[in-house]
Amino acid sequence: MEKEPTIWFYEDTGGIKLGLPVKDILFHKRSAYQDIYVMEIKGHGRALVLDDCIQLTEKDEFIYHELIVHPALFTHPHPQEVLVIGGGDGGSVREILKHKSVRHIDLVEIDAEVIEVAKTFFPTVSVGLKDSRVNIHIEDGIKYVKTTDKKYDIAIVDSTDPIGPAKALYEIEFHQDLGQRLNEDGIMIIQSECPYYNAQFIKDLCIRLRTIYPIVKIYVYAMPTYPGGMWSFIYASFKYEPTDVEEGKIKARWQTMTTRYYNPKVHKGVFYMLPQFMLEE
C-alpha cells in the first residue's frame, strides 16, 4: 500500500527545530498583524500557528491554558476581576471561568482575526468567549493598560513569543503600567518561553519584574508541541506566595471543576520542582 504523502511543518527557533506532520491546511490568512494558519496535524488534531510559531494543538493545549491560569486563581483567596492580555484563542478565558468567584473578565486582543479563527476552528477552546462575564476589547494591550482606570485582582499576559507586536509586552514600561492596574493584593502571570534556550531572557524578565513586585516566581512544565519540550511561566504578586496556600483550600475549590493537568499537588509542584540549572542562573 502506498504511504500517505506527508507535509511537515517546522518551527525553527534557531536553537532547535520542531517538526509536526500536517494532514491538511484548513485555513490561511495574513491579518493586519500576523500570518495565521490552522493545520490538521497527525496525532494532535488541529493546530493554530501564528507567524510560523505553534500557539496550540487540540491534543495538548489544556496543559498550557490550565497552568497559565490556575496557579494564580487558586492562590488568590477570592478572584473577581480578571484581565487577559492576548489569549484571543479563548483558552485562558475558558479556564478562568471555572472559578465561581470570577465576576468579570476583560480580554484585550489586538488581532480580531485570531478570535474569529478560534471560534470557527477551535470551539472547545474558545467556548468561554460567549459567556456574559467576558468583555472583548479589540485593541493594543499596551494602550489599554495605560489608559484604563479599572482595577483587577489577576492579570494574565497570554502573549505570543516576544517578537513583533508582542515584544513590548515584556518591557519594563508595560509592566509598570500593568502593576498600577492591579489591586494591592493583585497577581500577574506571563508566559516566559523555554528555559533551555531562553535562560538569559527569563533571568532579565525576572529582574525587571522584581522592581515592581515583592514576590516573583518561575514555574516550569512539559509542553510537547513547543520547541524544547519544557516551557515556563512567571508568577508575580504584591502579597501572595503561591506555595503558602493550604492544599486543603485548593482541593475544596478544585473539586468543583474539571481539569486534566492541574491539581492541588501540581499547584505546588511546578514551583518546587525547578531543575538545578534554573536555580543556579
Residues labelled catalytic: 158
Phi-psi region of 229 (alpha: psi -120 to 50; beta: other; left: phi over 0): left
**Helix and strand tally (H, E) in the chain?**
10, 12
| Measured distance CA(253)–CA(275) in Å, rounded | 29
Confirm if 96 and 84 have CB atoms less than 8 A apart.
Answer: yes
Confirm if 99 and 253 have CB atoms less than 8 A apart.
Answer: yes
Strand partners for 146? none
Q: What is the bridge-based pairing of β-strands 230-237 and 215-222?
A: antiparallel
280: number of Cβ within 10 Å: 6
Q: What is the bridge-based pairing of β-strands 182-191 and 7-12?
A: unpaired
